[in-house]
Structure 1
Amino acid sequence: MDHLLSAPSNRAERDVRLLPKAHLHLHFTGSMRPTTLLELAAKHRVHLPEALLSGEPPKLRATDERGWFRFQRLYDMARSVLRDEDDIRRLVRETAQDERADGSRWLEIQVDPTSYAPRLGGLIPTLELILDAVREASEATGVGIRVLVAANRMKSPMDARTLARLAVRYADRGVVGFGLSNDERRGLARDFDRAFDIARRGGLLAAPHGGELAGPESVRDCLDDLGAGRIGHGVRAAEDERLMQRLADRQVTCEVCPASNVALGVYEKPEDVPLRRLFDAGVPMALGADDPLLFGSRLADQYDLVREAHGFSDAELAELARQSVRASRAPQDVRAALLAGVDDWLTS
Structure 2
Amino acid sequence: MTGEGVGRGERPREVSELPKAHLHLHFTGSMRHATLLELAERDDIALPDSLVEDWPPVLSAADEKGWFRFQRLYDVARSVLRTPDDVRRLVLEAAEDDVRDGGRWLEIQVDPSGYAARFGGITAFTDLVLDCVRDASERTGLGMAVVVAANRTRHPLDARTLARLAAQYAGRGVVGFGLSNDERRGRTEDFAGAFQIAERAGLVLVPHGGELRGPDHVRTCLDSLGAQRLGHGVRSAEDPELLDRIVARGIALEVCPVSNVSLGVYSDLTSVPLPQLLAAGATVALGADDPLLFGSRLAGQYATMRAAHDLDDATLARLAEMSFEASQAPSDVAEAARRDIAAWLS
Equivalence map 1:156-305=2 (5 Å):
156-305=155-304
Matched with 2:15 is 16
1:24-68 deviation per Cα after TM superposition (whole angstroms, max 9, x unaligned):
000000000000001111122211111111162100011111100
Matched with 1:130 is 129
Cα distance in 1 for residues equivalent to 2:223 and 2:36 = 39
SS of 1:117's equivalent in the other structure is coil
1:216-246 deviation per Cα after TM superposition (whole angstroms, max 9, x unaligned):
1111111111011100000000000001101
Structure 1 stretch 215-224 or stretch 129-138: which is displaced more? 215-224
Matched with 1:75 is 74
Matched with 1:47 is 46
Q: State the identity %.
A: 60
Cα distance in 1 for residues equivalent to 2:93 and 2:61 = 28
Structure 1 stretch 218-227 or stretch 252-261: which is displaced more? 218-227
Counterpart contact for 2:4–2:313, Cα < 8 Å: no
Unaligned 5+ residue runs, structure 1? none
Counterpart contact for 2:2–2:312, Cα < 8 Å: no
Counterpart contact for 2:221–2:227, Cα < 8 Å: yes
Matched with 1:111 is 110
Kindly state the Cα deviation for residue 204 of structure 1 after the two structures are TM-superposed: 0.3
Scaled by the length of structure 1, the TM-score of the pair is: 0.97
Structure 1 residues 170 and 101: alpha-carbon distance in aligned structure 2, compared to 1, 3 A threshold:
same
Structure 1 stretch 39-48 or stretch 296-305: which is displaced more? 39-48
Cα distance in 2 for residues equivalent to 1:230 and 1:127 = 22
Counterpart contact for 2:104–2:333, Cα < 8 Å: no
Cα distance in 1 for residues equivalent to 2:331 and 2:99 = 20
1:53-88 deviation per Cα after TM superposition (whole angstroms, max 9, x unaligned):
116210001111110010000000000101110100
1:110 maps to a residue whose letter is: Q
SS of 1:255's equivalent in the other structure is strand
Structure 1 stretch 22-31 or stretch 43-52: which is displaced more? 43-52
SS of 1:286's equivalent in the other structure is strand
1:69 maps to a residue whose letter is: F
1:190 maps to a residue whose letter is: E
Scaled by the length of structure 2, the TM-score of the pair is: 0.98
Counterpart contact for 2:23–2:323, Cα < 8 Å: yes
Cα distance in 2 for residues equivalent to 1:60 and 1:5 = 35
Kindly state the Cα deviation for residue 13 of structure 1 after the two structures are TM-superposed: 2.1
Structure 1 residues 6 and 141: alpha-carbon distance in aligned structure 2, compared to 1, 3 A threshold:
closer
Structure 1 stretch 323-332 or stretch 5-14: which is displaced more? 5-14
Counterpart contact for 1:34–1:55, Cα < 8 Å: no
Kindly state the Cα deviation for residue 114 of structure 1 after the two structures are TM-superposed: 0.6
Cα distance in 1 for residues equivalent to 2:4 and 2:228 = 33
Cα distance in 1 for residues equivalent to 2:112 and 2:192 = 20
Matched with 2:321 is 322
Cα distance in 1 for residues equivalent to 2:137 and 2:296 = 22
Unaligned 5+ residue runs, structure 2? none
Kindly state the Cα deviation for residue 8 of structure 1 after the two structures are TM-superposed: 5.2
How many residues are aligned here? 345
1:240-270 deviation per Cα after TM superposition (whole angstroms, max 9, x unaligned):
0001101111110000000000000000100
Cα distance in 1 for residues equivalent to 2:131 and 2:172 = 9
Q: Could you list the structure 1 runs, at least 4 aligned residues long, displaced by more than 3 angstroms after superposition.
A: 3-12
Matched with 1:87 is 86
When the two chains are superposed, the root-mean-square deviation of aligned CA atoms in Å is: 1.3
Kindly state the Cα deviation for residue 305 of structure 1 after the two structures are TM-superposed: 0.8
Cα distance in 2 for residues equivalent to 1:31 and 1:85 = 16
Counterpart contact for 1:7–1:312, Cα < 8 Å: no
Cα distance in 1 for residues equivalent to 2:177 and 2:211 = 18
Kindly state the Cα deviation for residue 312 of structure 1 after the two structures are TM-superposed: 1.0
Structure 1 residues 113 and 8: alpha-carbon distance in aligned structure 2, compared to 1, 3 A threshold:
same
Cα distance in 1 for residues equivalent to 2:11 and 2:127 = 43
Counterpart contact for 1:209–1:234, Cα < 8 Å: yes
Structure 1 stretch 282-291 or stretch 5-14: which is displaced more? 5-14
